[in-house]
């Protein structure tokens, strides 16, 4: 009996709750340096435990270089089994990105990766999720901090050799799960 391959999955994670920006200091450097709140740190760990409990360990992570996204990723990794820590790529193009830039980043993922985690910011993450599956009304609620959207690539479990991250678009992925662990 042949085991069916794991479908390709794209996991979108908005960073956990961050401290508010300092009043009057709206520079990109100040925004990039914003840290998670204590509640945000706990939420990031919960996200890792949730991914682990749902067998959604990423093969590769695309992460914005902002402090709050890197802290979210660190918290998430503490909730994963140490044997399953994925390859991480810090991607400046994810910071304040439009859906087209996020799709372009995903299209660069190596073919062998089955599960990809993208850790980013709103409104880009929320807009990207709605672009990928515009018919799913769960996404109309918005993307609160530490929200997770899991998409599956259509047909990737049936014809894995004919699906590719290079073809990531709004016709190739469907929302499977949307939650805030």
In tens, the pLDDT along 143-159 reads: 899 999 999 998 766 66
Task: Tell me the per-residue pLDDT of 53-76, one tens digit each, with 9 for 90 and over.
Answer: 999 999 999 999 999 999 999 999
pLDDT of 171: 86
Instruction: Calculate the CA 40 to chain-centre distance.
Output: 16
Residue 170 lies in a domain: yes
Query: Where is pLDDT greater, at 136 or 33?
Result: 33
Considering only CA atoms, which of 139, 92, 86 is closest in space to residue 115? Answer: 86
Residue 172 lies in a domain: yes
**Half-sphere exposure at residue 90, Cβ-oriented, CA atoms within 13 angstroms:** 10
Residue 166: pLDDT over 70: yes
What CATH number corresponds to the domain at position 109? 3.40.50.1240
**How many domains in the chain?**
1
- Span 88-101, mean pLDDT? 94
Rg value, the chain, Cα: 16
Residue 14 lies in a domain: yes
Model confidence at 1, pLDDT cuts 50, 70, 90, reads very low
Residue 68 annotated as binding?
A: yes
Residue 109 lies in a domain: yes
Q: What's this model's pTM, rounded to 2 decimal places? A: 0.92
DSSP per-residue string spanning 6-18 = PPPEEEEEE---B
Query: Where is pLDDT greater, at 168 or 159?
Result: 168
Structural domain span for residue 43? 9-179
Model confidence at 44, pLDDT cuts 50, 70, 90, reads very high
Residue 1 lies in a domain: no
pLDDT of 159: 64
Residue 14: pLDDT over 60: yes
**Average pLDDT, rounded, for the chain:** 89
pLDDT of 179: 93
C-alpha distances out from residue 175 to 9, 11, 134, Å: 10, 10, 9
Task: Tell me the per-residue pLDDT of 113-126, one tens digit each, with 9 for 90 and over.
Answer: 999 999 999 999 99
Residue 86 lies in a domain: yes
Residue 3 lies in a domain: no
């Amino acid at each position: 009996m042949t085991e069916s391959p794991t479908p390709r999955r794209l996991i979108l994670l908005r960073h956990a709750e961050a401290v508010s920006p300092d009043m009057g200091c709206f520079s990109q450097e100040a925004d990039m340096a914003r840290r998670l709140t204590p509640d945000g740190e706990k939420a990031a760990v919960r996200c890792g435990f949730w991914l682990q409990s749902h067998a959604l360990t990423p093969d590769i992570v695309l992460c914005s270089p902002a402090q709050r996204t890197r802290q979210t990723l660190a918290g998430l990794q503490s909730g994963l089994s140490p044997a399953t820590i994925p390859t991480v790529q810090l991607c400046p193009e994810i910071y304040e990105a439009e859906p087209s830039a996020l799709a372009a980043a995903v299209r660069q993922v190596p073919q062998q990766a089955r599960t990809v985690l993208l850790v980013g910011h709103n409104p880009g993450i929320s807009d990207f999720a709605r672009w990928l599956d515009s018919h799913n009304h769960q996404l109309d609620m918005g993307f609160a901090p530490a929200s997770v959207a899991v998409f599956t690539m259509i047909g990737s479990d049936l014809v894995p050799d004919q699906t590719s991250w290079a073809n990531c678009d709004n016709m190739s992925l469907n929302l499977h799960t949307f939650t805030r662990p």
